[in-house]
Amino acid sequence: MIGAATGITVGAIVAPLAAPAVLGIVGFGAAGPVAGTVAAGIQAGIGNVVAGSLFAGAQSVAMGGALPAIGYIIAGGVTGAAGAVAGWF
């Protein structure tokens, strides 16, 4: 149980710091998707990007916007689960 609580806390703290770096690795840049990257391929596949979509949110964070609440929830859930599993060992 302590591992899960620790994981959730770490995820909530690390998520806003790591998100821009991870998005940059995938190809979301400060001026938009970088040509030839995964992000550019996704945008080419979906066509017009709808405001409020996951893609639009990722691009917003990459351009310096705040991480949406769902980002904290996902990060906390993933790291909490990892902490719970690690606690078993």
Q: What is the pLDDT of residues 22-53, one digit of tens each?
A: 889 999 999 999 999 999 999 999 999 999 88
Residue 16 has pLDDT above 70, yes or no: yes
Residue 84: DSSP 8-state? H
Name the nearest CA neighbour of 9 among 84, 89, 62.
84
Q: Residue holding tokens 């996902």?
A: 74
By residue range, what is the domain housing residue 29? Answer: 2-88
Residue 85 has pLDDT above 80, yes or no: no
The pLDDT confidence band at residue 74, using thresholds 50, 70 and 90, is confident
Distance between CA atoms of 16 and 42, rounded to whole angstroms?
23
Share of the chain above pLDDT 70, in %: 92
Distance between CA atoms of 89 and 65, rounded to whole angstroms?
38
> Do residues 26 and 38 lie in contact, with contact meaning Cβ atoms separated by under 8 Å?
yes
**Helix residue spans in 1-89 (DSSP H):** 2-26, 38-46, 54-62, 69-88
Residue 64 has pLDDT above 80, yes or no: yes
Domain count, the chain: 1
